[in-house]
């Protein structure tokens, strides 16, 4: 439950919303979110158990900042209309899996997973609980994004998403530069 609450208003929710609007395949996006969350939470849990003391806030903020700026640029990429798309049918799933995995790097939910895994001995329960919380928190974002895509033109959605990712990326890079 803690992770579900922490996820509300998170940048990964914005990403899930944007991907659902872009691909108009909410179930494929949710599947990508689930697989990414499971993979990221498993890695975070293992890191929490093994090497958490070596990861610095500066390094994590720098990685996240660069990744978010990359997503800002990716969000500007124009799309072919869904009827004319030549993407494979797994395009929405793979795009979500990759983008969401990058966005989750050093995210508060991943850090919560890392911390919980360091504190509790049951890695399976920690990963299952944090993954469930993360996915449940993103279900509304995916379906809101999908519904918005039916009513709003995609170009403004791309511009707004890109601007938000750019701002967040710069914020993380500034934070990384201020860590001592």
Residue 32 sits in which domain range?
A: 2-178
Average pLDDT value over all residues in the chain: 77
Q: Count Cβ neighbours within 10 Å for each residue of 31-54 and write b for 16 or more, e otherwise.
A: bbbbbbbbbbbbbbbebbeeeeee
CA 53 – CA 100 distance, rounded (Å): 25
Domain count, the chain: 1
Measured at the CA of 8, the angle between CA 6 and CA 103, to 5 degrees, comes to 80
Give me 130's structure tokens: 């944090």
CA 2 – CA 83 distance, rounded (Å): 40
CA 103 – CA 72 distance, rounded (Å): 11
First-last CA distance in the chain: 33
pLDDT the model gives residue 124: 92
Residue of higher predicted confidence among 89 and 40:
40
Farthest CA pair distance, the chain: 51
pLDDT the model gives residue 93: 93
Q: What's the pLDDT tens digit per position in 136-145?
A: 888 888 888 7
pLDDT the model gives residue 62: 79
pLDDT band at 52 (very low <50, low <70, confident <90, very high): low
Q: What is the mean pLDDT of residues 26-45?
A: 91
Query: In a 3-state reduction of DSSP, which class is residue 24?
Result: coil
64's CB contacts (< 8 A; 6+ apart) are 105, 106, 107, 169, 172
pLDDT the model gives residue 115: 72
pLDDT the model gives residue 55: 64
Provide the whole-model pTM: 0.65
Q: What is the mean pLDDT of residues 135-162?
A: 76
Q: What is the mean pLDDT of residues 11-32?
A: 84
pLDDT the model gives residue 53: 60
């Amino acid at each position: 439950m803690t992770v579900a609450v922490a996820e509300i208003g998170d940048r990964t929710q914005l990403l899930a919303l944007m991907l659902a609007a872009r691909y108009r395949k909410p179930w494929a996006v949710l599947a990508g979110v689930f697989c990414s969350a499971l993979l990221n939470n498993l890695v975070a849990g293992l890191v929490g158990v093994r090497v958490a003391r070596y990861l610095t806030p500066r390094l994590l903020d720098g990685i996240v900042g660069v990744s978010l700026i990359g997503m800002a640029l990716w969000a500007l990429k124009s799309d072919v209309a869904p009827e004319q798309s030549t993407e494979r049918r797994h395009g929405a799933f793979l795009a979500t899996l990759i983008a969401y995995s990058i966005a989750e790097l050093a995210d508060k939910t991943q850090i919560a997973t890392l911390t919980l895994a360091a504190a509790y001995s049951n890695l399976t329960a920690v990963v299952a609980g944090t993954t469930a919380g993360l996915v449940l928190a993103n279900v509304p974002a995916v379906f809101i994004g999908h519904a918005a895509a039916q009513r709003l033109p995609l170009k403004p959605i791309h511009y707004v998403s890109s601007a938000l990712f750019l701002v967040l990326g710069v914020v993380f890079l500034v934070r990384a530069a201020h860590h001592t």
